[in-house]
Every structure is written in structure tokens, then in C-alpha cells.
Amino acid sequence: MPQGKPEVVPDDGRTTRQRRNRPLVVVHTGEMKGKSTAAFGLALRGWNQGWSIGVFQFVKSAKWRVGEETAFLALGKVHEETGEGGPVEWHKMGSGWSWSRKAGTDDDHAEAAREGWAEIKRRLGEETHGLYVLDEFTYPLKWGWIDVEDVVHTLANRPGHQHVVITGRDAPQSLVDAADLVTHMTKVKHPMDAGQKGQKGIEW
């Protein structure tokens, strides 16, 4: 709620405006649907602010998020043609990162994930985007492919005003500790419990 009052006013010598404009690290975790969808909903707001949106999907299947990808690429085109909103870049690991000249990193998911993180780190250093969505990024962290402490340190020291949203189950505790906003998506009821499989438009 935009008009919410903070529960605590910290004694950190910063004005409310300075605190208000602090860039955020947001984590959406938990076992239930909604982690990525909420991240993309947040990216809609960022797009409307004219921020550069960078999406990095750390998933194997290129089929995932195709609905969101199509919609965001359409919004990026709206920006190009009319100046409305912000530019959009959408990168996915599944078929090899689009910037990569290496063929066949696809076979080595750990290497591909590390390559993705190296690129994001570079972009954070150059302040490329206003909002980063690191979709399913908790998995390469969980599996030890990418060093969590490197991520935490990089995020803590990123320059400028860059928001970062990270999604996926089992977010590491040190990432949760480092984040400003953490939501756990908790299952109350899921159609698969009643024998229903995924369907287009809902699951992808």
C-alpha cells in the first residue's frame, strides 16, 4: 500500500527520500507458483517507469515463460516505436545465452549458469539496467554452480540505482539475509493435487 507507514524509522542519517529511493534486492521463494509471475508483474511497473528491464532466465527449457517473454518483447517494441515505457532485454540460458559466442555451453549447465552470472555482474558494474529479473537463479546457487557469497557481495556493492529480483525455491539463507524484500509463496491448494496437469496460459 503506497501510503503505508514504516514501523521503524532508522537512525542512519539518511532522509526518508534517500531511503525511499534505495534500490532493492527482492527475493521470491517458496514451493508455490507465483514467484516468477510476481517478478514479471514487478517488471511491468519498472517498464512503465521507463527503466531498462533485463530478464535472465536460468532455466533449461526454452518453453518456460514464453508468454511473459512475448509480452515483454512486445512492450520493448512499443518503447522503441513510441518512447513509452522502457527498453527490454530477455536472455535465456536454455538455448545458450544470446550474447555468447560459445556453442555447446548448453551441454554444461553449470558452466552456462556461471557464464550468465558473469554477464550480469558485468552489467551491474556498468549500470546497464534499472531492473534485473534473475529467474530461477536460486537453483545454480543451491547446486553450488555459482558462489553465493560472490552474489551477495556483488549485490551489496552494486553502484547506482539498480533493482534486482531473484526467484526460485530454497533461496540460500545468506541471500535472504542480504535481501531487502523476501516473499515466500506458500501452497494452500494446487490443481495437481486434484489430478490436473499443467495447461497453457496458466503454467506457461
| Interface with a second copy in residues 129-168 (CB under 8 A) | 130-131, 163
**Which residues from 17-56 bind a second copy, rule CB under 8 A?**
19-22, 24, 26-30, 32-34, 36-42, 44-49, 51
**Which residues from 168-187 bind a second copy, rule CB under 8 A?**
176, 179-187
Site for a second copy contains 101 (CB under 8 A): no
Binding-residue total with a second copy (CB under 8 A): 84
Q: Which is nearer to a second copy, 144 or 201 (CB)?
A: 201
Q: Which runs of consecutive H residues, i.e. helices, occur in 100-147?
A: 109-126, 138-142
C-alpha cell at 180: 531487502
Are 28 and 183 in contact, with CB atoms under 8 Å apart? yes
Q: How far is the CB of 149 from a second copy (least distance, A)?
A: 19
C-alpha cell at 73: 518483447
In the set 13, 16, 98, 156, which binds a second copy (CB under 8 A)?
16
Q: How far is the CB of 103 from a second copy (least distance, A)?
A: 26
Site for a second copy contains 62 (CB under 8 A): no
Q: Which is nearer to a second copy, 7 or 107 (CB)?
A: 7
Q: Which is nearer to a second copy, 62 or 118 (CB)?
A: 62
What's the rounded Cα separation, in Å, for the pair 155 and 136? 17
Q: Which is nearer to a second copy, 30 or 115 (CB)?
A: 30
Are 170 and 32 in contact, with CB atoms under 8 Å apart? no
Site for a second copy contains 95 (CB under 8 A): no
Of 41, 40, 43, 35, the closest CA to residue 187 belongs to 35
Burial 43-66 (b: 16+ CB within 10 A, else e): beebbeeebbbbbbbbbbeeebbe
Indicate the SS3 state at residue 26: strand
In the set 52, 54, 55, 72, which binds a second copy (CB under 8 A)?
72
